[in-house]
Structure 1
Amino acid sequence: MTTSHLNDKEMIDQKLAIETTTSNTKQTPSRQALIEALQAERPSPWSPNLRKLYMFCVIAFLCSSMNGYDGSIFGSLPALESFRDQFGVEKNGAKIGYISAMYTVGGICSLPFSGPACDFRGRRWGTFIGSLIVVACTFLSALSHGVPQFVAGRFFLGFGVNIVRSTSSIWCAEVCPPAYRGIIMAFYNCTYAVGSLIAAGVTRGSAGYAGNKSWQIPLWCQMICPGIVLISVLFFPESPRWLYSHGREEQALEFLAKYHGEGNPSHPLVQLQLQEYREFISLSGSDKRWWDFRDFYKTKAGRWRFINALITGIWGQCSGNAVVTYYLPAMLLTTGITDSNQVLNVNLGYTVVSTVASYLGASQIERMGRRPTIIWTAVACSICFACITIGSGIFDSTQATPAASAGIAFIFIFGFCYNFGMTPLQALYPVEALSYETRGKGVGLTFSIAHGFTLLNQFCFPIALKNIGWYTYIVFIVWDLFEAAVSYFVSVETKGHTLEELSEIFESPNPVRASLQKTI
């Protein structure tokens, strides 16, 4: 037995010991059942079948990199003179905002299709279709000769990425063993930063090429990750929850036994999950009706779930990260940096910091919990924007180099804080907050609404930055504090619960208070 295996078992033992000795803490029935199942027979986190499942999950993680790649590439392309000449744009202003925003418009327009893509033929086929669209649109963008063709490519690229992110994140959450779902799903969105890092590195490397190659090479490389997913995803096992909801209980049991029960269909954890499927998953739920969104608002629990799912989606786009990612060259203008190579170097450095921070945050998400992470990340982002504002303001008045350097430093610190806390939660939290019946449509709807706020940023921020400069940052100081306040009163802690058990949490009179009871 390996040392890592022993450490994992010791960790579970410690959690169980803490839980079972806390006599004053009330337990929900499902939570107590999960504790008893783990006590009776703990599955090895490194069994051969689970290692195979982890490999599938790592490939699915690449779906998140597609979004990160685009975010970083549009933080770099406007710095290339050949790109600006080809499409007649500046580093900021309405035209570059329009081109950038078409990716987001495509994501919003995918809303009617994301839910059916998840629910109709299964999570795997939805991921396949989304990846195929992304690959096709890469050709369209890279071969563009004018703005209309490039804009069309970006529109359908955003359309496909929103579908593939919705389906793949749901698949990952639904196939993971309950004890390891949190950390696995936290790592899912970290590949957003990996995509950003690849894009920043490729764009920096291609900057030395003459002519259109300098901006076409990064666009062609955008096809790598969706291409890998496209040729791999149909070899994945289907979600056991999707199988059960479509009357294929035997196949769902086979999956649970193989991957969660070390081949034993009578394993307590397998039987517990199957029992929860029978209790909480409807065979005729709204997931079978693509037009039915009533479950999001007709009950108190449904409203609580949807609000919590929206929190990380909206906060993730409105905390300031979207504008830093897409308009870093324009932000650097307010600190006196105009040279293209300097901009690309700063963008690459920022992306490296963001990538490291996201993986550090994901590794600690089970220790920190979802709720405290959301609150304190918003506070940290507000402080960082206050410092960026001060540095940019002093530089604008005095042209003092130290002030500019301080502003740039806090852009990096902001990237670290944001990605440490918010990046791991953006795929994890909505999937946990939503019930099975609403998960497909809900995740797609959450991403589309988040894209709507991104669209607002993309149209308004470059114009505001061009007209009022660093004063624009004050908005984010206030908004991030507002995020922290709302999250304090609304955010439900989902750590340590099975996906089905969360139904009991959200149906309680006070979901926030119920969720803060001791978790495993």
Structure 2
Amino acid sequence: MSLEAAMQSSDTKHGSIDSGHVHGQDILKGDIVVGIIAGEDAIRATENEHNLSLRDAVRLYPAAIGWSAFFSLGIIMTAFDPQLLGNLYATPKFQQDFGYLYEGSWIIKAQWQTGAAFFASYPMEWFGRKKTFGVCVLLTTAIIFIQFFARSLPVLIVGELLGGLVLGTYATIAPTYASEVCPVALRGILTSYINLCFVIGQLIANGVIAGTSTLDNHWAYSGPFASQWFWCLVILIGWPFAPESPWFLVRKGRMEEAEHALRRLGSKGMDIKPSLAMIIETDRLEQELEAGSTYLDCFKQINRRRTEIAMGVYSIQVISGIYLVGYATYFFSMFFTKPSHITLAGLATDKAFDMSIGFLALGFVGTLCSWVLMSRFGRRTIYNSGLSALIVLLLIIAILDCAPGYTENKPLIWAQSSLMLVWNFCYGLSVGPVCFVILCEVSATKVRSKTIALATATQAMVGIVMTIAIPYLINPDQANARGKIGFFFGGLAAIALVWSFFRVPETKGRTYEELDIMFSKGVKTRQFGNYHVE
């Protein structure tokens, strides 16, 4: 029997889902009554997941792909705002209005760059992914007004701090939703797509600034802030039609709504009964394992290892140097010794913007290429190999900066800048996108949103340290480290690689129930890839 035929309605053999029953489990409207889980259907769903090819998954779940991408639009806003502010540091009019004069050029104090980087944690999942997403977009729309009308650093910081509190929620909502609406075959692509959205947001911000940076009035920075309303408008138009996560609905006992959501996410005529049974079975298993549903449960023995991995892989993004992306234009374009010609990396301002856009474009291409790698190789292999490449590149960049007469040697400057482009391609090929895949796959379903929130909060705390350190390290009125910052991040990334080798397991092709079983049994890290679940 073909896969499609196996997934079509088979009501005669297995019964059907209605408002009263889910193959032996009694359902009342909105509440689960004690009953018997449809283990037979759950097993059939697991087999379908393992047998489903990428091509068939794309054909059978176009709606799931579309809505996952829709929820990821919030990530574009999350990436757009800090990249926008980082690039504004290199905009002459912004420097004049918000900065101070230093040796013939305007620069922004490191303290203010740090203040704009703070953001807070995320709402609970009391109201669901959809409602939380909608409310956050409305709040973002309102907060942009503060940024748009800011004419002083204190007002701008208020706008950035409030905006950051809301933008941080998208980093939890998007991966949680993506991991809960798609089959195993699509999970790697749709969760790693989040990294692509980060790159898209950064790339658009660079393009907007490149178009407005030459203006000599407040529109040089007010215009880019106003452009953020576009994404809010797009999301608010489509939001009312978005389906809720079926996993969330099952945990709330809203079975009819979960069934309806599954039907909307799949192709017309698909038998969604096995998928619903698998969600119910996985939720039941996690209740038996006492996975819990609170932030405290994330640190209980049953979940502690999973929480550590999630926090670790997300923090490694920062440790390996990703925050340099936000400062790419600033790094390339801020004045170093000669006002108007020599910059931190030795490139003129117009060339710096070109280099920064190329920097992000390669990250975009790298993420697309990662989808090919993930279909053939495991998450662990790609992640560790990519991290190793980043370490080598960072150390080479730092060594080049130590060459005698570096600031007058343009070939060395271009070589160093080109290596940063290669670095971002490798990051987009490995650590960047695969992080989100691992983050979603290692989290227990009942505490996934909270595990992702904790991981994001941890990354934010590490990021705060880095955003404090980076301006002081690269600013010409501070340490002026230039490319030697590669020694700093290269060393930290080497330590992270050792941790990753011993702690990050292979999760490719596993259902959430299988991962629950493997983690509960304490399967060793290097045995995950070949472990057989009975």
Question: One fold, TM greater than 0.5?
Answer: yes
Higher relative contact order (Cα pairs below 8 Å, separated by 6+ residues): 1
Query: Which is greater in Rg?
Result: 2
RMSD: 3.2
Whether contact under 8 Å (1:434, 1:442) holds in the other structure is: yes
Q: CA deviation at 1:395?
A: 5.9
- Trace 1:280-295 onto structure 2 (pairs within 5 A): 280=286, 286-287=292-293, 292-295=294-297
Q: Which of 340, 344, 358 is equivalent to 2:349?
A: 340
Structure 1 gaps of 5+ residues are 10-28
Paired with 2:90 and 2:170, the residues of 1 have a C-alpha distance of: 29
Paired with 1:420 and 1:269, the residues of 2 have a C-alpha distance of: 31
Question: Structure 1 residues 144 and 47 mapped into 2: Cα distance closer, same or farther (>3 Å)?
Answer: same
Q: Which residue of 1 aligns with 2:394?
A: 385
Q: CA deviation at 1:397?
A: 4.7
Q: Which of 130, 141, 148 is equivalent to 1:142?
A: 148
Question: Structure 1 residues 211 and 161 mapped into 2: Cα distance closer, same or farther (>3 Å)?
Answer: same
Whether contact under 8 Å (1:167, 1:440) holds in the other structure is: yes
Paired with 1:101 and 1:398, the residues of 2 have a C-alpha distance of: 27
Q: Which residue of 2 aligns with 1:54?
A: 65
Q: Which has the higher helix share?
A: 1
- Trace 1:405-416 onto structure 2 (pairs within 5 A): 405-416=414-425
- Trace 1:33-44 onto structure 2 (pairs within 5 A): 36-37=47-48, 44=56
Question: Structure 1 residues 497 and 477 mapped into 2: Cα distance closer, same or farther (>3 Å)?
Answer: same
Question: Structure 1 residues 340 and 282 mapped into 2: Cα distance closer, same or farther (>3 Å)?
Answer: farther
- Trace 1:12-411 onto structure 2 (pairs within 5 A): 36-37=47-48, 44-47=56-59, 50-89=61-100, 96-105=109-118, 107=119, 110-111=120-121, 114-116=122-124, 119-260=125-266, 262-265=268-271, 268-280=274-286, 286-287=292-293, 292-299=294-301, 301-330=302-331, 333=336, 336-337=345-346, 339-394=348-403, 396-397=405-406, 399-411=408-420
Whether contact under 8 Å (2:407, 2:413) holds in the other structure is: no
Whether contact under 8 Å (2:384, 2:500) holds in the other structure is: yes
Q: Which residue of 2 aligns with 1:12?
A: none
Paired with 1:480 and 1:30, the residues of 2 have a C-alpha distance of: 45
Question: Structure 1 residues 243 and 101 mapped into 2: Cα distance closer, same or farther (>3 Å)?
Answer: same
**What SS does structure 2 have at the residue aligned with 1:193?**
helix
Question: Structure 1 residues 331 and 339 mapped into 2: Cα distance closer, same or farther (>3 Å)?
Answer: closer
Question: Structure 1 residues 519 and 32 mapped into 2: Cα distance closer, same or farther (>3 Å)?
Answer: farther
Paired with 1:53 and 1:224, the residues of 2 have a C-alpha distance of: 24
**What SS does structure 2 have at the residue aligned with 1:464?**
helix
Structure 2 gaps of 5+ residues are 8-39, 337-342
> One-letter code of the match for 1:516?
G
Whether contact under 8 Å (1:62, 1:226) holds in the other structure is: no
> One-letter code of the match for 2:428?
N
Q: CA deviation at 1:95?
A: 5.2
Q: Which residue of 1 aligns with 2:485?
A: 472
Question: Structure 1 residues 336 and 268 mapped into 2: Cα distance closer, same or farther (>3 Å)?
Answer: closer
Question: Structure 1 residues 514 and 89 mapped into 2: Cα distance closer, same or farther (>3 Å)?
Answer: farther
Among the aligned pairs, what percent are the same residue?
Answer: 20
Q: Which residue of 1 aligns with 2:529?
A: 516
Q: Which residue of 1 aligns with 2:20?
A: none
Whether contact under 8 Å (1:38, 1:269) holds in the other structure is: no
TM-score normalised according to structure 1 size? 0.84
Question: Structure 1 residues 365 and 99 mapped into 2: Cα distance closer, same or farther (>3 Å)?
Answer: farther
Matched positions, count: 482
Paired with 2:442 and 2:264, the residues of 1 have a C-alpha distance of: 26
> One-letter code of the match for 2:385?
W
Paired with 1:145 and 1:79, the residues of 2 have a C-alpha distance of: 17
> One-letter code of the match for 2:352?
V
Q: Which of 483, 486, 511 is equivalent to 2:496?
A: 483
Whether contact under 8 Å (1:316, 1:422) holds in the other structure is: yes
Paired with 1:388 and 1:400, the residues of 2 have a C-alpha distance of: 14
Q: CA deviation at 1:363?
A: 3.8
Paired with 1:171 and 1:202, the residues of 2 have a C-alpha distance of: 29
Deviations 1:177-231 (A, max 9, x none): 2222121211232111111111111110112322121122211112222332233
Q: Which of 422, 426, 436 is equivalent to 1:427?
A: 436
Deviations 1:425-457 (A, max 9, x none): 343322221112221222112111111111111
Whether contact under 8 Å (2:84, 2:224) holds in the other structure is: yes
Paired with 1:330 and 1:46, the residues of 2 have a C-alpha distance of: 41
**What SS does structure 2 have at the residue aligned with 1:445?**
helix
Is 2:450 the counterpart of 1:437? no
